[in-house]
Structure 1
Amino acid sequence: MTAIVGILNKRGAVMAADSAVTVTNGDRTKIYNTATKIFRMSLDNPVGVMMFSSTEFIGTPWDVIFKLYRDTRGKQSFNTLEEYAKNFVDFLSAENYFSSVKSQKDYFISELSKFYYTIRDEVIDDYQRKINDMTEEEASEVDSDEILHFMLESKLKYALELYSEKDISPEFEDYTIDNLSSYGNEYFKELMELCEEDHLPTDMQKQWEESFLAYIRSQFYYNGSGIVFVGYGSKDIYPSLLPIYISGAFDHRLRYYFDHDAKQSVTTDDRAFICPFAQTDVMMTLMKGVAPDMFEIIDSQHKKSMQKVKDNIVEKLKESNVSQDVIDKVVESAQDKIQEEFQDNVLEYIQEEYIDGIIDAVDSFSIADMANMGESLISVTNLQRHISSSDESVGGPIDVAVITRSEGFIWIKHKDWFRQDLNPNTRFFE
């Protein structure tokens, strides 16, 4: 796991990251505190990246890819940060996604398998609950095949509708069911064999293909890597930050999307930003004054309390022979209004008393202040994981880098695995 953060103001941008990486082997996991997650993308231009989630792309380490990009395309200059990110995507395509035809098919099979087992487990669990709620006599008379067919059909329809609502990954906008069937026909036949082994209906290959197509095309968050570009385009006065999510590639298409909703650009009006990624809970608690899950609990409990009040009011009004139409209008409007006001007031307090104050402070920070803040945010996340009962999935040395328009990319802290005095000419810190 990972904790990284980008901090931006008019003076420049800071990137900070921990070193923990979780390696899974079957049911066993091991955490190493040796991963580098910040990289310079150009020796000539003020651009860097931070990485979180998977440290590899279809079997190739991201650090190898980043350094190869820097060596081959790092001298190119672009007007905006987004153009650098697009050029990096083009680079992946030009290098055939650092994968063979076989590895792309392996990725496809892996995604299809995850999709299948998720649907299968939900159907079997729902079926088992339904049977458990029956008497022995009722259970002995049910048509299991009919129930399973209905449940599987419903799950696949729900998946189709869910993923179809999401935006489409750029390289899959014109990817059709015919493309999918042609590329993965043999694997869908194997999927039907799995259905037979798992006692699921085997006459729904079309529905499987349609729902999986919606999933594989969508920008629904999928297993993969987050790549956060930070820095300046050649025409930028102030820094920007743009995350890209990259999952993998198959059929010579890259599954990725730019997260424009999370893009941040310093302007004369928007003067500073703090952008945490991956394990953000501790940093968001410091910024908002309340843990994200605690706010959700408070809001949920308030709704339950309002419901109890509503039930009591309804009971008293009925005792007074008030008509149901009047009761509905009075109670519903009052509950909705009070709940909305509660949420608005709490969010306004958080914004004014915590977030605005921190952002105002960052706006006035020097580069050194921002670097210290970035390191501290990662460090306090590390501390929380250390003293809690959860895995220490944030830890190890903290790397910190600064990017300014005039000085470019500068390391503030960078762990190494060798003696610098024995390697004076190393390119390690480039």
Structure 2
Amino acid sequence: MTAEIAIMSRTAVVLAADSATTVTSWKDGQQERRYFKGANKLFELSRSSPVGLMIYGSAGLQGVPWELPIKAFRETIGRDQYDRLETYPERFFEFVQHHDKLFSEETKNLALFNLIGAAAWRLQLMIARYTGGEDIADLAEKPLNEVDEALSRAEAEIEEMPLHELLNEADIANATAKTMDAFAAEAGGLVHLFIQDQARHALIPRFVLALVKLAVKQFLEYADRTGVVIAGYGKEDFFPALEVYDCYGFLGDRLILSRKPARLMDASSPAVIQPFATTQMIDTFRMGVAPDMFENMLGSTFQAMNSLGAKVMAECGAQSPLTQERLQELVESSHSEHADVWYQQIRNQHVFPLSNIIHSLPLPDMAGLAKSLIELESLKERVTRPSESVSGPIDVAVISKHDGFVWIDRKHYFRPELNPRFFKRAE
């Protein structure tokens, strides 16, 4: 987990990120988590342009730490500048997709093979349940004709599964072409379904075809997602902008990305406070009420109104009481009006005043606000959970049109006064 924030006014954008990272491993069949407090999540994306980048979620792509392609891209573009901020993420992800040294063809193919292999357990479990079993081990005693019929039903279910809008039929075709022969050759000795009974080997081609489709269609559900936040200015931008992407990794040769609606500032735009990853305390600060408690309150209010309606009808002894359906309609209408009043009060008393104040804040105060909100999130995590998955030093940077990318707080894994050569190299 992590906590990050972007605060954007007409003058500048402030980025802040904690330093916690979680490493998960397995020991004796049990999942173990370790927490470290030195991860870099905030970067300067260009030496000559006022652009910064933050990452949250997975710390790596295809086993490669994000820090490597980010810094390699920064060196590659050198003094180049783009007119609009939106071009920077476009060029960055193009660079990542086509960087053969960091992400070789062999690495991508191996990742695809592992993706399909990981789906084999899910497909076998699906087949087991269609035979009336609870687990893959239950397939051991099933005759070939029952397994064949269960595979047919699993194939039909997979065909009915929707294909996410980020994916297409070409992804299935490419994955099939790259892995079909290799996986079919190994399935007899790797897949439990076929190890149990060699008579089932005739089903391997069908099994592998269904397996590839299942793996691709469920790719986003099991991918290691990384959020990528890019903020700052293009050469022709006079107000800051914020671009957010979800990166799901490589599916074959293609980098799967989802771009969220951009936040663009202009002379009349309200200020932006945009948290990422762990957001509970920041949302509470913005709204004046904890989001989870607000949702609980709305839910309990709905139940109370529903109960009150029934009690009123019973007490009055109505000659023709309302039907349950009509009572539900009235309660839903009143509850919606009640919720709208709450939302309006939250906007008028908390969100809008805070936005107006941010536009007037000096840059040091904007940076202090961003850092304080991350510290608040970290404090909440530290006193309520044993994990401290939001913690460590907080990196803060201010990005403005003419001053560029300026570090306000930045951790080093070394003592700066002992390493003057590091800063000379950076210059």
C-alpha separation in 1, matches of 2:348 and 2:165: 33
CA distance in 2, matches of 1:392, 1:119: 37
Partner of 1:259: 260
Distance 1:342 1:106 in 2: 54
Counterpart amino acid of residue 177 in structure 1: I
Q: Secondary structure at the match of 1:22?
A: strand
Q: CA deviation at 1:187?
A: 6.7
CA contact (8 A) 1:96 1:252 kept: no
* 1:81 has 2:85 as partner: yes
Other-structure match for 2:216:
213
CA displacement 1:325-365 (0-9 Å, x = unmatched): x7366324312311221222222222222211221211211
User: Would the alpha carbon gap of residues 198 and 314 (structure 1) be closer, same or farther in structure 2, given more than 3 Å must change?
Assistant: farther
Looking at structure 2, the residues matched to 373 and 271 of structure 1 have their Cα atoms a distance apart, in angstroms, of: 17
Q: Which amino acid aligns with 2:276?
A: F
How far has the Cα of 1:247 moved from its partner? 2.3
| 1:248 equivalent in structure 2 | 249
For residue 253 of structure 1, report the CA deviation from its aligned partner: 1.3
1:377 & 1:125 partners in 2: Cα distance? 48
Counterpart residue number, 2:17:
17
CA distance in structure 1 between the partners assigned to 2:382 and 2:211 by the alignment: 44
Match of 2:58 among 44, 54, 59: 54
Q: Summarize the Cα distance change of 1:109–1:397 in structure 2 as closer, same or farther, 3 Å threshold.
A: same
Does the residue aligned with 1:177 lie in a helix, a strand or coil?
helix
CA RMSD of aligned residues (A): 3.6
Residues 423 and 37 of structure 1: CA distance in aligned 2, closer, same or farther (over 3 Å): same
Distance 2:20 2:281 in 1: 16
Shift of 1:248: 1.8
User: 2:375 aligned with 1:379, yes or no?
Assistant: yes
* Contact 2:43 2:53 (C-alpha < 8 Å) held by counterparts: yes
Asked if the contact 1:3–1:17 (Cα under 8 Å) also holds between the matched residues in 2, the reply is: yes
**Partner-residue secondary structure (3-state), 1:31:** strand
1:405 Cα deviation after fit: 0.5
Distance 1:367 1:321, change over 3 A: closer
Q: Secondary structure at the match of 1:98?
A: coil
Q: CA deviation at 1:425?
A: 3.0
Percent of aligned pairs with the same amino acid: 25
CA distance in 1, matches of 2:316, 2:211: 52
1:344 is matched by which residue type in structure 2? D
Are the equivalent residues in 2 in contact too, given 1:78–1:234 (CA < 8 A)? yes
Aligned 8 A contact 2:13 2:399 in 1: yes
Q: Distance in 1 between matches of 2:181 and 2:158?
A: 20
CA distance in 1, matches of 2:125, 2:288: 39
Contact 2:22 2:36 in 1 (8 A): yes
Q: Which runs of 5+ in 2 are unaligned?
A: 136-144
Structure 2 residue 102 is matched with structure 1 residue 107: no
Check conservation: 1:375, 1:398, Cα contact below 8 A: yes
Cα distance in 2, alignment partners of residues 269 and 125 from structure 1: 58
Shift of 1:413: 0.7
Distance 1:186 1:275, change over 3 A: farther
Contact residue 119 and residue 156 of structure 1 kept, 8 A: no
Matched with 2:97 is 93
2:142 aligns to what? none
1:283 matched to which residue of 2? 282
Matches within 5 A, 1:349-364: 349-364=345-360
Assess, with a 3 A threshold, how the Cα gap between structure 1 residues 328 and 16 changes in structure 2: closer, same or farther: same
| C-alpha distance in 2 between matches for 1:211 and 1:130 | 20
Q: Partner of 1:341 in structure 2? A: 337
In the alignment, the residues of structure 2 paired with residue 302 and residue 154 of structure 1 have an alpha-carbon distance, to the nearest angstrom, of 44
CA distance change for structure 1 residues 309 and 175 in 2, over 3 Å: closer, same or farther? farther
> What SS does structure 2 have at the residue aligned with 1:426?
helix
Look up the match of 2:236.
235
Q: What TM-score do you get using the length of structure 2 for normalisation?
A: 0.82
After TM superposition, list the pairs within 5 Å mapping 1:29-428 onto structure 2. Answer: 29-96=33-100, 98-115=102-119, 117=121, 156=158, 160-161=161-162, 164=163, 166-168=164-166, 172-173=167-168, 175-186=170-181, 189=184, 193-195=191-193, 206-216=209-219, 222-260=223-261, 263-309=262-308, 320=319, 327=323, 330-427=326-423
Does the CA contact (< 8 Å) of 2:223 and 2:249 recur in 1?
Answer: no
Using the alignment, how far apart are the partners of 2:317 and 2:230 within structure 1? 61
The Cα shift of 1:372 comes to 0.2
**How far apart, in 1, do the equivalents of 2:301 and 2:120 lie?**
38
In structure 1, distance between residues paired with 2:307 and 2:154: 37
- Residue ranges of structure 1 left out of the alignment (5+ in a row): 132-142
1:160-194 Cα deviation digits (max 9, x unpaired): 23xx3x432xxx55625322321232476467934
Q: Contact 1:107–1:248 (CA<8 Å) still a contact in 2?
A: no
Distance 1:53-1:329 versus aligned 2 partners, 3 A rule = closer
